[in-house]
Structure 1
Amino acid sequence: MQGTLDELGTPLSQITFVVFDLETTGVSAGEHAITEIGAVKVRGGEVLGEFGTLVAPGTPIPPFISVLTGITDAMVATAPRIEAVLPSFLEFAEGATLVAHNAGFDLAFVKAACAAHGYPPPAHPVVDTVVLARRLLNRGEVPNCKLSTLARLFSKTEPCHRALADAQATVDVLHALLERAGSFGVETLEELRGFVRAPTAGQRRKRHLADAVPTGPGVYVFEDERGDPLYVGKSVNLRDRVRGYFTASETRPRIREMVGIAERVRTIVCATPLEAEVRELRLIGSAKPRYNRRSRSPERMVWLKLTDEPFPRLSIVREIRDDGAGYLGPFGGVRAAEDARTALHEAIPLRQCTDRITPRTGRPACALAGMGRCGAPCEGRQSVEEYGLHVVAARRAMELDAGAVFSAIEARMERLSLDQRYEEAVADRDRLASYIRTSARMQRLRALTSIPQMVAAAPAAPGDWEIHVVRHGRLVSAGVMPRGAHPTPFVDALVSTAETVVPGPGPVPAAGAEETECVLRWLESPGVRLVQVEGTWSLPVGGAGRLKARIDRAYQAREPHRSREGRPPR
């Protein structure tokens, strides 16, 4: 029988789309406010109307948001509040399909505003151009799905973190993507929404690869016809996770491409989810599968080194040696290490030249000495003992107490803000964040890696216990003790068969930083009990961990803009 027009769906050319964008004061729809709404109504490729207004958020706009968007407190001082703007926007969007770039973020703020002012949440169909772009474009065409990247390819409007301009750019991106979708036979809204979710032909052909995958926790490795690893992952249920790669739930273009190439799936069954997570990291680091993005190059991590010489300096290195030097790290890149070094130099007048200096060295001092930023040991103005006081302060700031550096940078940021030099203040904040976050991370790692052996347990299935043995931060043994078993012989057996560890130098002497962090997360999870601990597990009282929360709060308002650029929140 021939279907009716209703069964065929609504042609895209007859759909009214309202493409919208928001600017906000922060990342959380429940805590932060809208500062601007921009929307464009289109149908059949024709613009039917535009909607744009600033919104008074009711709270001060953070300075770094003003720098990013150009929206200041003065601009929104006379703007309407959201309760006055919301009805007009909802009326503008009535009966339309909503479109946004990373729609989940923008819709969360709209829904929060509706809930706060007594309006029902929007029930419109939604199209997310980020998801659509990932389905239609490959990495040969675009390196990522940020709005700015797609706009350079498809639009004459440059996104600038202003709502209406970003919405206008998204309109062009939408039309270009709909044209691409048409080549796949997508002609109706219903087909478009199904197309985004549908598995590819390659996924359907390879479903048999999941047939022999066992259940339980472990690691899976997708391999090509030569047996080379393409992608490594882990799961608490191997069979369910691997099957998901061949269904509509897998929407990542790169992974869909990988599935089309894969010829087999190799699995490694593990005793516990933590063992699976650790094995995944080790396999990715050693095999470097080309479809894994994270954890592929742990050797690229860099460290900030306080050199061991008569007049030490801060140097950026890629290797830790057993040379008595002080180390801070690891950093993800040289830029982050340079930022942390600049923050330390702001608080502690260490020399910044790269020459080796001895008490007999005699050469003219550099400009930093004239600025009071260096004591000029090269010119003989400071003895080894006098300079050593700064070295002690630097090592303390790197390993024990971040307060001096935090106070120095905070005071400088306040001075810059009073002078309205906001961009310089933001740069200082970034440097401070690099130092504080890395210092807090290293102190957490060192607290665990200094312990020769730790045995810990956590409840698993009813009556069972997951038990792990950790030596110097490295997972060396894992097992599940069944209900009713006597713990002492079980733990003794795990310990006696555990991997032997000979620790090396530095804060992470036996495993990569990521592996030790996995172990730390498990140890800090609810229900974990310490069975045996050799030594003391503690953090320094004045450590950077107490300041990290303040840094993180200062950055929260930047995340929504990154998310809207096509990076899903972690």
Structure 2
Amino acid sequence: MSPRASVVTGPRSPVPALSALRAPTTGSTAVQPTLDEVGTPLHEVTFVVVDLETTGGSPTTSAITEIGAVKVRGGEVLGEFQTLVNPGGPVPAQITVLTGITTAMVIDAPRITEVLPSFLEFARGAVLVAHNARFDVGFLKAAASAMDLAWPSFTVVDTVPLARRVVPRDEAPNHKLGTLAGLFHASVTPDHRALSDARATVDVLHALLGRLAPWGITHLEDLATAADPVAPAVRAKRALADGLPSGPGVYLFHGPDDEVLYVGTSQNVRGRVRSYFTAAEKRRAISEMLQIAHRVSAISCATTLEARIRELRLIAGRRPRYNRRSKFPERMPWVRLTAEAHPRLSVVSAVSPAPPGSLAAGTPGGAPVHIGPFSSRRAALQAVEAVHGSFLIRRCTRRLPRLAPDDAVACPLAELGRCAAPCLPAGDGAVGSAIGALAHDDAVAGVRTAMSQTPAVLVESLTARITSLAADERFEEAATERDRLAAFLDGASRAERFASLAHCAELVAARADDTGAWELVVVRYGRMAATGVAPPGTDPYVTIDALVATAEDVAPPVPPATGAHPEETSLLLAWLDAPGVRLVRTTAPAAHPVRGAQSFGTMAAAIRAARGSRPD
């Protein structure tokens, strides 16, 4: 064999087994999706199967003595690369015994500095394949690094883990190249010489890919997870992703009776759905869902915002059994200051106006006031406790007459001075003078101000208590008061933000993307009524007028609740706050109290940072 590099470009016989790798058709209708949507079929991929011989097992102490590579595509050999390499020193005797390569054979061979650029040019644009690729690619990368040569971003396929996945122990005692070549009747017997071992690896690769095809491994992108420990029945369902869009959208997994099992969203629907059938998916419930899923449908969306909102609406409307979030908007409660003779705080599931016949604004009870919504009932109760810790508003739930009877008896909270006790006549000497309807009215006025105008008094009261408890080293109690304060500020801030959209009959906003297109959103009473994209170079106002004309009609809500699921309104608010968003038109300006809860946002953020949590 010549010590000089040789490149054989003549084709060898195609491998018949590769015909099994062609993607199956899924229906009678001819469809030609884009390459991005379906990936690269394996029969269209150019592979360069490489094998090395070296003077030892580590690239830090050993050197390459021979490189052999075969370039194949669609079962046809496109070319071969073979050369001995001068390692810069003698070949160890044990290596000579194993490979037959002697020092005399490599003494006149080119050095790796001459060979590696030629090999990289030969492999340009291909997928590298090796049996135990970590060894071969490791030596090649080390040589490139020593030469200050940039290593190309090759996709690398290792036939060892693929063999472990599809060749059981009862079929082959091990997964060595020689064993697999014999099992698959390779046309070349590996003999520890680089080119013959590479040729044998080609046959092994094609045989392995033929076995993987029934599992849905039919595209190059599938090989990245082909060795994952995923049940064959689940992996075979990867074909459910075929034909799905590669852009933003919502996907729905359907069960045997076309029941919607799960709803999700992604910027690349097809890629996300395919990821469910890999080892990256470890959720037990989702694995169970995949076992019974029969099909996947998708809704393409113009923007990521639209996809996320459609996902929320589908989950809330369909309530899929495998979705755990956003199904129950009624589980996002509000804190309500009731409208009655002597108002109290109540945790409610929805915002509602004062019932007919109740006391209207301007009377001692006043109209109801709400803050929220909260992420949980626990968070809402924490906000209630924050108010009770700062104002002597009553905690009982029974209805009280405006005028207390003369024979009324003080409750334990009144005895402890923790309630203004509107159930008692004013100035009852047995308990104290700061009780009764008038005192309670003052407390209610303070609560109303804290909930709808400014929480300054509540913040001052609770921070003083937190400071006092911390000074007494009662840190757990101080932390409890801190969490109550944070819950109130979060709920009151959200109510202020929601109210700004709840009063707005229509708002149109726009944001430019990287391509110069305009992402447009029409919001009515806090609900996305229409969305679209004005392409670059077009007049966005034409698209805006069309969107407004066809936008969904939304009924006016009861503020501060909006006309949408609370999470939808939160998504819209976050989008409107994002950099680059422009307000095109609105029927009502966004206005908040100057000293409202949002002005204490820094304090709330500091509290959340201290306890390591997000807003409730």
Q: Mark yes or no: TM-score above 0.5.
A: yes
The 8 Å contact of residues 449 and 472 in structure 1, kept in 2 or not, is answered as: yes
- What's the CA shift string for 1:442-488, capped at 9, x where partnerless? 22222222211110011135121110100111000011111222232
Alpha carbons 2:499, 2:562 under 8 Å: kept? no
C-alpha separation in 2, matches of 1:409 and 1:202: 58
In structure 2, C-alpha distance between the alignment counterparts of 1:199 and 1:506, rounded to whole Å: 50
Partner of 1:162: none
SS at match of 1:378: coil
Q: What whole-Å deviation, never above 9, does each CA across 1:70-99 have from its counterpart, x for those lacking one?
A: xxxxxxxxxxxxxxxxxxxxxxxxxxxxxx
Question: Residues 478-489 of structure 1: matches in 2 within 5 Å?
Answer: 478-489=531-542
Work out whether residues 311 and 384 of structure 1, in 8 Å CA contact, stay in contact via their aligned partners in 2: yes
Q: Distance in 1 between matches of 2:502 and 2:578?
A: 18
Alignment counterpart, residue 449 of structure 1, candidates 493, 502, 509 = 502
Deviations 1:513-540 (A, max 9, x none): 1000000111111211111111111332
Conservation of the 8 A alpha-carbon contact between 1:301 and 1:318:
yes
Confirm whether residue 321 of structure 1 aligns to residue 360 of structure 2.
no
Match of residue 380, structure 1, among 401, 425, 450: 425
Alignment of 1:311 onto 2:356: no
Gap regions ≥5 residues in structure 2:
1-55, 58-224, 355-366, 427-434
TM superposition shift of 1:410: 1.2
Aligned to 1:525: 578
2:470 match: 417
Residues 410 and 464 of structure 1: CA distance in aligned 2, closer, same or farther (over 3 Å): same
Give secondary structure in 2 for the equivalent of 1:380: coil
2:409 corresponds to: 364
- The alignment partner of 1:315 has SS state of strand
When residues 419 and 461 of structure 1 are mapped into structure 2, their CA distance, relative to the original with a 3 A threshold, is: closer
Deviations 1:25-58 (A, max 9, x none): xxxxxxxxxxxxxxxxxxxxxxxxxxxxxxxxxx
Alpha-carbon shift at residue 558 of structure 1 (Å): 4.4
Matching of residue 348 in structure 1 with residue 391 in structure 2: yes
Q: Which residue of 2 aligns with 1:125?
A: none
Match of 1:291 in 2: 322
Amino acid at match of 1:553: A
SS at match of 1:219: strand
Q: Which amino acid counterpart does residue 562 of structure 2 have in structure 1? A: P
Deviation at 1:198, TM superposition (A): 4.0
Distance 1:311 1:557 in 2: 37
Measure the CA separation in 1 of the matches of 2:350 and 2:610.
Answer: 35
For the residues of structure 2 that align with 1:202 and 1:260, how far apart are their CA atoms? Answer: 8
Displacement of 1:306 in angstroms is 0.7
Specify the alignment match of 2:282 in structure 1: 251
Is residue 303–residue 330 contact of structure 1 (8 Å, CA) maintained in 2? Answer: yes
**Matching residue of 2:149:** none
Q: Is the CA contact 1:311–1:377 (under 8 Å) kept in the aligned structure 2?
A: yes
Please state whether the residue corresponding to 2:523 is helix, strand or coil.
strand
Q: Which has the higher contact order (CA 8 A, sep 6+)?
A: 1
Question: 1:337 is matched with which residue?
Answer: 380
Of residues 299-308 and 551-560 in structure 1, the stretch that sits farther from structure 2 once superposed is: 551-560
CA contact (8 A) 1:314 1:341 kept: yes
Equivalence map 1:378-527=2 (5 Å): 378-381=423-426, 387-527=440-580
Output the amino acid matched with 1:218: G
Please tell me whether the aligned partners of residues 278 and 515 of structure 1 are also in contact (alpha carbons under 8 angstroms): yes
Once residues 443 and 238 of structure 1 are traced to their aligned partners in structure 2, the CA distance between those partners, rounded to angstroms, is 35
Shift of 1:392: 2.4
- State which structure, 1 or 2, has the greater radius of gyration over its C-alpha atoms: 2
Cα deviation per residue 1:309-340 (whole Å; 9 max; x = unaligned)?
11111112223222141112222333222211
Aligned-pair distance for 1:293?
A: 1.5
- Distance in 2 of aligned mates of 1:503 and 1:366: 42
* One-letter amino acid matched to 1:462: T
Paired AA for residue 367 in structure 1? P
Contact 1:359 1:383 in 2 (8 A): no
Letter in structure 1 aligned against 2:269: L
CA 1:552–1:195 in structure 2 vs 1: closer, same or farther (change >3 Å)?
farther
Structure 2 partner of 1:237:
268
TM-score by length of 2: 0.57
CA separation in 2, counterparts of 1:410 and 1:387?
A: 23
Q: Partner amino acid for 2:474?
A: R
Matched residue SS, 1:213? coil
1:257 Cα deviation from its structure 2 partner:
2.8
Q: CA 1:196–1:413 in structure 2 vs 1: closer, same or farther (change >3 Å)?
A: farther
Cα distance change, pair 226–303 in 1 and its aligned pair in 2 (3 A): same
Number of equivalences: 371
